[in-house]
Structure 1
Amino acid sequence: MLIVGEVHTNVLRERDPVTTDHAGHLLDLLPGEPVLVSERPMSHVRSPEKPVGVDCPVVEGSGRQVRVVGTVLQRATIAGGHVLQGSAYVEVRRAAQNARLGWSHYLARPGVVEALGRARWPELADAFAGGGHAGAELDLGAIAGRVVDDVQRRAVRDTRYQGPLRLRSARTRLRWVAEVGAEPGDPVRFAVRSGDLRVLRLTTATQTAPAQDAGVSRETVERLVAVCEDVALHDWLLTTLVDITRKAGIGVLPRHESLERLVPAIDYLLHLWLPGARGGEVSDLVWAALERRGGFSRQWDTLVRRIRDQLSVAAVTSLAQAVPRQPPGQQPYTNA
């Protein structure tokens, strides 16, 4: 069986980072359902999960079409008061019978779609991880992007926080596929597909997998979603910091102008780097692989040191200019 999802990450369209209460207001997307708030290790506010009904095909790599029916779960989060994420995910199970049932059957299983047809899990995983979708196929990215757009519209309408944005960034997408019961192999694979799309593939050994139609525990699914959202958050942070540093023109533009372009990163991004804070043991496994191969934290630390070096040089230069120089051969005046 498979658990698949997509996470969209972007900066919240607010002038300044929002308070926890205001973030809760923006994420109150389902009346009567609570907004979840966490303050450790950073501010993290999550909307209630909304089921979205789907009934559409997925084309495997061999060209065989598999139909999936059920409900995808959609949610949004605001991290650090400034970073907005939209997430859509679903557990894919093999249908007990090769016939579509009534909606009451699927609504009783939120976050689960059943595959009708001869589904081959490796090929179906490749299809979900693929770079594009036809118009009629299951598109989790569209569902994740829709909730991001909804929250951004709410933020734009809120006059309390209107004003010019100090931090601008591009949206990134993380598409992830967890193969439960896959053959032993590389458990964590991460790839950058394009300027905005990343793909994360996870595998669980066969001996620890549940029966194909039994599913996994809700706790396991939640941990997988949490760690994938965490990876998406830190990939966005790193991508945004790389872009800001490049546009600062260090060594090309006057130093004061470069520093002006770096200040939003100092104010809003540097303190948010906390990889592995969510997801438990699954997070430890995923981040160990990402740090070993991708060097996320090494690249982040290098960029942070470069920014701080610019601040240090600017401070030393300002101090040197503030101290008057003594003419050659003249001793400084002292009051004996």
Structure 2
Amino acid sequence: MAAQTGESASTVLVCGEVRTCLLPTTQALDRRGAAQLLGLRADMYVRVSERPIMHVLSPETLTGVDCRLPASDGSRTRAVGTVIGRAALTEGRLLQTTSYFGLPAVGPDTRRPWGQYLVRPGIVEPFGTLPRKATAAGVLQGARRGELDTGTIAEGLAAQLCRHELLDRRAPFASAPTRLRWVALRTGGDKPAALTNFTLAEDGLRTVKLRLPPDVPASAAAGLCEDLALHDWLLTHVQRMLDDHPFDRADDSRSLAALRPAVTHLLHLWMPRAHVDGALAHLWDTLEAAPGFTRQWQNLVQRIRDQLTLLDLAQCRRAASSKGCEE
């Protein structure tokens, strides 16, 4: 059964997780290779966008779940339904896998036949009343054993794709994946969409809290969080390259080797909101105000350019000195 991008307006909470990593292959995939990699379903097309930056989005898949929901207050609410999974590839280089689902305020007291869950893709129904705030907090804290874990679903999809025969499993530089967990509470009345919290935790974990109007589909929230996760990954890794390999005036080759991956593979990927639903694109303004994603990025890019300029000047001086000695 094909997954649909829209979900019932009766949902009061949407939850998901995004995994972002460098595609393990020497050369970035072109449009055809990216579409082949992300062809998760034979009966649905891969979506390819080449402007303003190449972005390839897989068809959606469904994973059936029947387990407890995470909850910060220790409640043990059982839920049944389907979780949507999908993958995206940016410029043939950065892979993202996402899983997400929506929850209604109240579900049935008994389990329905599976067919009734399949006709509502991406909906997970609680038994009885949903402890909304406790579930949202529990998702952000992380699922425990026996609880619904969107991260495991996203990680499994990433592992599947990274084993694809198209890939030579030789990444152009060392990197680490990041995880972004998100929850979106549905708003009532005329309250607009909002990004209320963005945090950096240890071990590559980020968390995001959103307010989402009832007419904005869960897929739009997933797309926004994918965009945030991608640009956070870029910031994290370019910063790490500069911190781990400081400019070495005595060894130009070492400095160039440290800067080359950023210049060759990453600097051209910065394009916030390029593939975010128009209803949520303005939420980037929150991150531009504080912590200031693009200001941070521009500072990193300028540091790289300054170091390249210094390297060029040093090489010119050595060349001039060597020429003077020969004369």
Query: TM-score, normalising length from structure 2?
Result: 0.89
Partner of 2:182: 176
Aligned to 2:6: none
Compute the displacement of 1:117 (Å).
2.7
The runs of at least 4 aligned residues of structure 1 exceeding 6 Å deviation read: 182-186
* CA distance in 1 between partners of 2:131 and 2:282 (Å): 26
1:27 to 15, 20, 38: 38
Partner of 1:58: 69
Identity %: 35
Contact 2:31 2:92 in 1 (8 A): yes
Alpha carbons 1:248, 1:259 under 8 Å: kept: no
**1:107 partner amino acid:** L
Which residue number corresponds to residue 147 of structure 2? 137
Question: 2:253 — aligned with what?
Answer: 256
Alignment of 1:198-209 (within 5 A): 198-204=206-212, 209=213
Instruction: Note if 1:273 corresponds to 2:270.
Output: yes
Q: 1:240 to 1:97 in 2, by over 3 A?
A: same
Equivalent position of 1:213 in the other structure: none
Write out aligned runs for 1:110-189 (5 A): 110-130=121-141, 132-154=142-164, 157-158=165-166, 162=168, 164-181=170-187, 187-189=195-197
Cross-structure match for 1:237: 234
Q: Secondary structure at the match of 2:314?
A: helix
Unaligned runs of 5+ in 2: 1-11
Equivalent residue for 1:291? Answer: 288
Point out where structure 1 has 5 or more consecutive residues left out of the alignment.
Answer: 211-215
**Within-5 A mapping of 1:223-234:** 223-234=220-231
Shift, 1:164, TM fit: 4.2
Counterpart contact for 1:242–1:303, Cα < 8 Å: yes
CA apart distance, 1:162: 3.1
Map Cα deviations across residues 110-162 of structure 1 (whole Å, 9 max, x no partner).
111111133221122111111x32121000000001111111000xx33xx63
Residue 302 of structure 2: aligned partner: 305
Aligned residue for 2:199?
191
Q: Does 1:2 align with 2:13?
A: yes
User: Are the equivalent residues in 2 in contact too, given 1:6–1:87 (CA < 8 A)?
Assistant: yes
Mapped to 2, the partners of 1:288 and 1:13 lie a distance apart of 32
Which whole-Å CA distance do the structure 1 matches of 2:42 and 2:228 have between them?
A: 29
Q: C-alpha distance in 2, partners of 1:230/1:163? A: 25
Query: Relative to 1, partners in 2 of residues 1:310 and 1:59: Cα closer, same or farther, differing over 3 Å?
Result: closer
**Counterpart amino acid of residue 179 in structure 1:** L
Query: Higher Cα Rg: structure 1 or 2?
Result: 1
Superposition RMSD on alpha carbons, in Å? 2.3
Alpha-carbon distance in structure 1 between the residues aligned to 2:107 and 2:306? 61
